[in-house]
């Protein structure tokens, strides 16, 4: 059977995401400078690496010196395992179905344990597989999400000690409830004290874990006591500050009015699909939400809310074309929207459109995009569809 050469051609997607290796390396270096040489940096790559794409982002992190990766589920761990070079560690912080434990243990994947039932299941699964389950015991310190109550810690330690040939007690951890907000820090301080009490109990029972860890990006960047044996870094790796409070605390630390040591890794681009003229008084797009106040020239952009571009940006968001802002006019549709290019000379089909990123002297940050869309930075990025091609750039 002969193959038609045309079948080898790649059909283009309506947009593309570009990922900067140099920006990531810069962020890793900044985080390392902040937390010091000792803590192990665990890269949080849940939600498809915050929308950056696990398949491409894990090798990028590896190239930047990261060897430890944390995810939210067993399924995500299976995806990361496919992308990991040799010598990587994977840790599941969230859901694991009992029937998946044997697979997890067989592949040396670490996982949180936050109740006695999961601990017993881990022992049984490890016995069947013939390998040790590598666990991190998550204790409840006041977040009231997942976490083993302190009153049950002694029972957990007894199970761990009794089954030491089946369990590698790798870590003890907790999740801090809102370290990105200074107003929460009184609560965070109490959690740190409670965590230390739990760790001291394990030491008293002569069965402490190898690692202790509590720090996310916000805590690791702002609270020295949270920089323990391991830090769990998410949003900062991708080049974003966890919150204005964290950024302002950094400015105070470096004694500067402005400083931008974190670099955005992700850019998002597309191309103009169509250009047309609109008469004064005509409505643009569905409904009557936008009426042309005068003669206009509009460019049609080939993506919409099905492609991760929030419908809440209707009539208030903007893109960059030829380095200039082009405001959205009309409603964001499922797969396209319109922008006003009346003030931009020479606009034509195929011109590059920047949704997030730089173009000439202007830029659209993830933060500004999120503000217009009424979304969190994490929410925006994690909702970027996985089928958008990710491309590595310098």
| pLDDT for 373 beyond 70 | no
- What mean pLDDT do residues 66-81 have? 97
Residues 245 and 272 in one domain: no
In a domain, 40, yes or no: yes
* Average predicted confidence (pLDDT) for the chain: 95
3-state secondary structure of 309: coil
| pLDDT for 301 beyond 90 | yes
3-state DSSP: the chain helix, strand, coil percent, rounded to 5?
35, 25, 40
- What mean pLDDT do residues 265-286 have? 97
pLDDT at 72 (0 to 100) = 97
In a domain, 12, yes or no: no
- What mean pLDDT do residues 293-305 have? 97
Residues 242 and 279 in one domain: no
In a domain, 378, yes or no: no
| pLDDT for 44 beyond 70 | yes
pLDDT tier for residue 268 given thresholds of 50, 70 and 90: very high
pLDDT at 83 (0 to 100) = 95
Listed residue (274, 291, 273) closest to 282, CA to CA = 291
| pLDDT for 1 beyond 70 | no
In a domain, 240, yes or no: yes
In a domain, 196, yes or no: yes
Query: Rounded to whole angstroms, what are the CA distances from 4 to 9, 11, 13?
Result: 10, 15, 22
**Of 254, 274, 295, which residue constitutes the final position of a domain?**
254
Question: Could you tell me where the beta strands, DSSP code E, fall in 302-378?
Answer: 318-321, 324-327, 337-340, 352-359, 362-364
Q: Which residue has the tokens 């606009």?
A: 347
Query: Rounded to whole angstroms, what are the CA distances from 324 to 273, 301, 304, 363?
Result: 18, 15, 21, 9
- What mean pLDDT do residues 95-120 have? 97
User: Which residues are 277's β-sheet partners?
Assistant: 297
Q: What single DSSP character describes residue 335? A: S
Query: What pLDDT, in 10s, does the model give residues 166-209?
Result: 999 999 999 999 899 999 899 999 999 999 999 999 999 999 99
Residues 345 and 287 in one domain: yes
| pLDDT for 243 beyond 60 | yes
Residues whose CB falls within 8 Å of the CB of residue 180, separated by 6 or more in sequence, listed in order: 217, 218, 242, 243, 245, 246
Residues 155 and 295 in one domain: no
Give the pair of three-digit tokens for residue 237.
């790796």
The enclosing domain of 345 has a CATH number of 2.40.37.10
Helices (H), 287-365: none
Residues 169 and 197 in one domain: yes
pLDDT at 317 (0 to 100) = 93
Query: What pLDDT, in 10s, does the model give residues 221-242?
Result: 999 999 999 999 999 999 999 9
Tally Cβ neighbours within 10 Å of residue 258.
6
Listed residue (210, 192, 208, 212) closest to 200, CA to CA = 208
In a domain, 371, yes or no: no
Residues 360 and 240 in one domain: no
- What mean pLDDT do residues 299-317 have? 95
Residues 120-154: b if buried by 16+ CB within 10 A, e if exposed: ebbbbbbeebebbbbbbbbbbbbbeebbbeeeebe
pLDDT tier for residue 294 given thresholds of 50, 70 and 90: very high
Catalytic residues, by residue number, are 46, 286
Residues 248 and 283 in one domain: no
Residues 241 and 277 in one domain: no
| pLDDT for 2 beyond 80 | no
**Of 196, 221, 254, which residue constitutes the final position of a domain?**
254
Do the beta carbons of residue 284 and residue 329 sit within 8 Å?
yes
Do the beta carbons of residue 299 and residue 275 sit within 8 Å?
yes
User: Which residues are 91's β-sheet partners?
Assistant: 70, 110
pLDDT at 5 (0 to 100) = 80
For residue 331, give its domain range: 266-364
Tally Cβ neighbours within 10 Å of residue 200.
11
- What mean pLDDT do residues 71-87 have? 95
Do the beta carbons of residue 270 and residue 355 sit within 8 Å?
yes
Residues 202 and 342 in one domain: no
The enclosing domain of 38 has a CATH number of 3.20.20.10
pLDDT at 118 (0 to 100) = 96
**Of 221, 254, 287, which residue constitutes the final position of a domain?**
254
Listed residue (249, 247, 173) closest to 216, CA to CA = 173
In a domain, 7, yes or no: no
Do the beta carbons of residue 262 and residue 247 sit within 8 Å?
no
Domain count, the chain: 2
Range in 123-132, 267-276, 358-367 the model is least confident about = 358-367
In a domain, 273, yes or no: yes
Q: Which residue has the tokens 């699909």?
A: 273
* Residues 48, 80: Cα–Cα separation, whole Å: 9
pLDDT tier for residue 347 given thresholds of 50, 70 and 90: very high
Rg over CA atoms, the chain: 25
- What mean pLDDT do residues 367-378 have? 73
Residues 278 and 298 in one domain: yes
Residues 274 and 180 in one domain: no
Q: Is 308 exposed, middle or buried (CB count within 10 Å of its CB: 0-12, 13-18, 19+)?
A: buried
Q: What single DSSP character describes residue 79? A: H
Structure-model confidence comparison of residues 143 and 194, the more confident one: 194
- What mean pLDDT do residues 334-350 have? 98
Residues 315 and 209 in one domain: no
Do the beta carbons of residue 241 and residue 261 sit within 8 Å?
no
Give the pair of three-digit tokens for residue 118.
């999961």
């Amino acid at each position: 059977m002969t193959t038609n050469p045309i079948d080898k051609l790649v059909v283009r997607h309506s947009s593309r995401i570009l990922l900067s290796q140099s920006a990531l390396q810069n962020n890793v270096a900044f985080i390392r400078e902040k937390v010091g040489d000792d803590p192990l940096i665990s890269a949080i790559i849940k939600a498809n690496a915050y929308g950056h794409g696990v398949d491409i982002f894990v090798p990028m992190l590896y190239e930047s010196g990261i060897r430890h990766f944390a995810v939210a589920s067993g399924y995500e761990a299976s995806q990361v395992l496919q992308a990991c070079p040799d010598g990587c560690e994977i840790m599941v912080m969230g859901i694991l179905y009992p029937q998946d434990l044997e697979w997890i243990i067989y592949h040396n994947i670490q996982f949180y344990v936050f109740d006695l039932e999961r601990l017993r299941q881990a022992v049984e699964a490890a016995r069947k597989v013939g390998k040790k389950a590598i666990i991190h015991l998550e204790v409840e310190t006041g977040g009231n999400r997942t976490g083993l109550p302190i009153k049950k810690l002694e029972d957990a330690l007894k199970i761990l000690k009794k089954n030491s040939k089946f369990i590698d007690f790798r870590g003890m951890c907790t999740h801090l409830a809102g370290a990105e907000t200074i107003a929460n820090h009184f609560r965070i301080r109490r959690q740190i004290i409670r965590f230390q009490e739990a760790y001291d109990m394990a030491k008293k029972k002569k069965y402490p874990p190898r690692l202790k860890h509590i720090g996310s990006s916000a805590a690791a960047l702002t609270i020295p006591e949270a920089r323990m044996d391991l830090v769990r870094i998410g949003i900062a790796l991708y080049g974003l500050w966890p919150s204005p409070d964290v950024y302002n605390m950094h400015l105070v630390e470096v004694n500067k009015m402005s400083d931008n040591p974190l670099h955005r890794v992700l850019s998002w681009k597309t191309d103009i699909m169509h250009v047309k003229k609109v008469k004064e008084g005509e409505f643009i797009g569905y409904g009557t939400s936008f009426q042309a106040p005068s003669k206009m020239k509009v460019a049609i952009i080939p993506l919409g809310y099905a492609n991760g571009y929030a419908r809440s940006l209707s009539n208030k968001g903007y893109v960059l074309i030829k380095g200039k802002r082009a405001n959205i006019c009309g409603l964001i549709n499922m797969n396209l929207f319109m922008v006003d290019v009346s003030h931009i000379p020479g606009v034509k089909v195929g011109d590059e459109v920047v949704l997030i990123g730089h173009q000439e002297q202007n830029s659209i940050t993830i933060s500004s995009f999120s503000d217009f869309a009424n979304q969190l930075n994490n929410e925006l990025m994690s909702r970027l569809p996985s089928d958008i091609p990710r491309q590595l750039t310098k």
